Structure formats: C-alpha cells, structure tokens
Amino acid sequence: MGPREYSSSSNLMPGAAHVTERLEKTVHLRIDPNDESTTLEDVLTRISELQRKHPDREVFFDGDEYAICSRPKRSKASTTH
C-alpha cells in the first residue's frame, strides 16, 4: 500500500465527518492512537490532501480528539482585534 492509499482496516479511520455547530469544526479522519503503524508522514500527507480539497477551510490535527479536522477560514477582518 502506497503512502496515499488508505484502507478501512488501517488506523486512519474515516470519521463521521460530523460538524459541531458552535465551533463549525468538521472531523474528517479519526486516528487510532494505539496503532503504531501510522506515521507522522501519513498524517501530514492526509492534511495536505484535505487542504487541496478544501481551500476555504483551515485543516488541522486536533490532539484532544486524535483526529484531522477543519473549520472555515476566518476572514482577515475578523482576525483583527
């Protein structure tokens, strides 16, 4: 299996892609923290793929949920205080 191929039996488990309304966060992929076969390269590759697929979203690793998530990018006007 190549670095861009993911099987359903791998520790990269497709998430339900649910959205938390108040945070507008989407979980794209849950990662099994007990599976030592997943590498940092696997996670970073998947993040890059999602960034290309969703250029209007900020894609990030959520350490609390052990998942690759995204949320809508903030406009520049809303980031200034």
For 18-73, what is each residue's pLDDT tens digit?
444 445 899 999 999 999 999 999 999 999 999 999 999 999 999 999 999 999 99
Spatial CB neighbours of 38, under 8 Å, sequence gap ≥ 6: 10, 11, 12, 31, 32
Over the range 11-47, which residues count as b (16 or more CB within 10 Å of their CB) and which as e? ebeebeeeeeeeeebbbbbbbeeeeeebeeebeeebb
The structure's pTM equals: 0.65
**What amino acid occupies position 3?**
P
CA angle 35, 40, 44 (to 5 degrees): 125
